[in-house]
Amino acid sequence: MPKYVQAKPEPSQEASEVIELFGMTPLRAEILRHLSMCEEGVTSGDVGRALSANYRTVARHLVMLESHGVVESDATEERQGVRVLYRINRTQLSVAAKLLLKYLHGE
Protein backbone atom coordinates (compact mmCIF):
# COMPACT_ATOMS: atom_id res chain seq x y z
CA MET A 1 0.00 0.00 0.00
CA PRO A 2 1.39 3.45 -0.86
CA LYS A 3 2.82 5.56 1.89
CA TYR A 4 1.16 8.89 2.59
CA VAL A 5 3.13 12.08 2.74
CA GLN A 6 2.88 13.62 6.17
CA ALA A 7 1.66 17.17 6.57
CA LYS A 8 4.16 19.37 4.86
CA PRO A 9 5.17 22.92 5.57
CA GLU A 10 3.91 25.59 3.21
CA PRO A 11 6.21 26.15 0.24
CA SER A 12 8.89 28.70 0.87
CA GLN A 13 8.24 32.23 -0.32
CA GLU A 14 10.82 31.68 -3.05
CA ALA A 15 9.14 28.46 -4.24
CA SER A 16 5.72 30.15 -4.18
CA GLU A 17 7.05 33.02 -6.29
CA VAL A 18 8.57 30.67 -8.88
CA ILE A 19 5.34 28.67 -9.09
CA GLU A 20 3.42 31.89 -9.67
CA LEU A 21 6.02 33.22 -12.12
CA PHE A 22 5.60 30.25 -14.43
CA GLY A 23 1.81 30.25 -14.13
CA MET A 24 1.57 26.87 -12.47
CA THR A 25 -1.20 26.38 -9.99
CA PRO A 26 -0.02 25.69 -6.45
CA LEU A 27 -2.02 22.42 -6.46
CA ARG A 28 -0.37 21.20 -9.65
CA ALA A 29 3.05 21.99 -8.19
CA GLU A 30 2.14 20.09 -5.01
CA ILE A 31 0.90 17.11 -7.06
CA LEU A 32 4.23 16.93 -8.90
CA ARG A 33 6.12 17.31 -5.63
CA HIS A 34 4.04 14.59 -3.98
CA LEU A 35 4.56 12.20 -6.89
CA SER A 36 8.30 12.86 -6.72
CA MET A 37 8.28 11.68 -3.12
CA CYS A 38 6.18 8.55 -3.84
CA GLU A 39 8.29 6.50 -6.22
CA GLU A 40 6.05 3.41 -5.90
CA GLY A 41 3.07 5.33 -7.28
CA VAL A 42 -0.13 6.63 -5.76
CA THR A 43 -3.79 6.94 -6.70
CA SER A 44 -5.57 10.24 -7.24
CA GLY A 45 -7.37 9.58 -3.95
CA ASP A 46 -4.05 9.10 -2.16
CA VAL A 47 -2.81 12.41 -3.54
CA GLY A 48 -6.08 14.15 -2.70
CA ARG A 49 -5.96 12.96 0.92
CA ALA A 50 -2.30 13.89 1.30
CA LEU A 51 -2.88 17.38 -0.10
CA SER A 52 -6.38 17.93 1.32
CA ALA A 53 -7.72 18.32 -2.21
CA ASN A 54 -10.69 16.80 -3.99
CA TYR A 55 -9.58 13.62 -5.76
CA ARG A 56 -11.56 14.58 -8.87
CA THR A 57 -9.64 17.84 -9.15
CA VAL A 58 -6.41 15.94 -8.58
CA ALA A 59 -7.43 13.39 -11.21
CA ARG A 60 -7.98 16.15 -13.80
CA HIS A 61 -4.50 17.51 -13.11
CA LEU A 62 -3.01 14.01 -13.32
CA VAL A 63 -4.67 13.32 -16.68
CA MET A 64 -3.31 16.60 -18.07
CA LEU A 65 0.17 15.92 -16.68
CA GLU A 66 0.05 12.39 -18.10
CA SER A 67 -0.94 13.73 -21.53
CA HIS A 68 2.26 15.80 -21.48
CA GLY A 69 4.35 12.81 -20.43
CA VAL A 70 5.57 14.10 -17.06
CA VAL A 71 3.32 11.63 -15.22
CA GLU A 72 2.82 7.95 -16.02
CA SER A 73 0.05 5.60 -14.93
CA ASP A 74 -0.49 1.87 -14.91
CA ALA A 75 -3.85 2.28 -16.65
CA THR A 76 -4.29 0.27 -19.82
CA GLU A 77 -7.25 -0.08 -22.12
CA GLU A 78 -7.73 -3.66 -20.86
CA ARG A 79 -7.51 -2.81 -17.16
CA GLN A 80 -10.06 -4.14 -14.71
CA GLY A 81 -11.35 -1.95 -11.88
CA VAL A 82 -10.79 1.69 -11.20
CA ARG A 83 -7.54 1.79 -9.20
CA VAL A 84 -4.87 3.63 -11.19
CA LEU A 85 -1.38 4.29 -9.85
CA TYR A 86 0.41 7.44 -10.99
CA ARG A 87 4.16 8.05 -10.95
CA ILE A 88 6.36 10.98 -11.86
CA ASN A 89 8.38 10.59 -15.07
CA ARG A 90 11.54 12.34 -13.93
CA THR A 91 13.16 12.14 -17.35
CA GLN A 92 10.27 13.85 -19.11
CA LEU A 93 9.91 16.43 -16.35
CA SER A 94 13.61 17.30 -16.75
CA VAL A 95 13.23 17.49 -20.53
CA ALA A 96 10.24 19.82 -20.16
CA ALA A 97 12.14 22.08 -17.73
CA LYS A 98 15.15 22.20 -20.07
CA LEU A 99 12.95 23.04 -23.06
CA LEU A 100 11.34 25.87 -21.13
CA LEU A 101 14.73 27.27 -20.15
CA LYS A 102 15.98 26.92 -23.72
CA TYR A 103 12.96 28.85 -24.97
CA LEU A 104 13.34 31.54 -22.31
CA HIS A 105 17.00 31.96 -23.27
CA GLY A 106 15.95 32.61 -26.87
CA GLU A 107 17.37 29.39 -28.27
Q: Which domains does the chain have, with CATH numbers?
A: 13-104 (1.10.10.10)
Rounded to whole angstroms, how far apart are CA atoms 34 and 71?
Answer: 12
Q: What is the DSSP letter of 16?
A: H
Residue ranges, the chain, pLDDT below 50: 1-7
Give whole-number Cα distances, 38 to 28, 78, 79, 86, 88, in Å: 15, 25, 22, 9, 8
Taking the model in full, what pTM does it have? 0.81
The pLDDT assigned to 5 comes to 38
The pLDDT assigned to 23 comes to 85
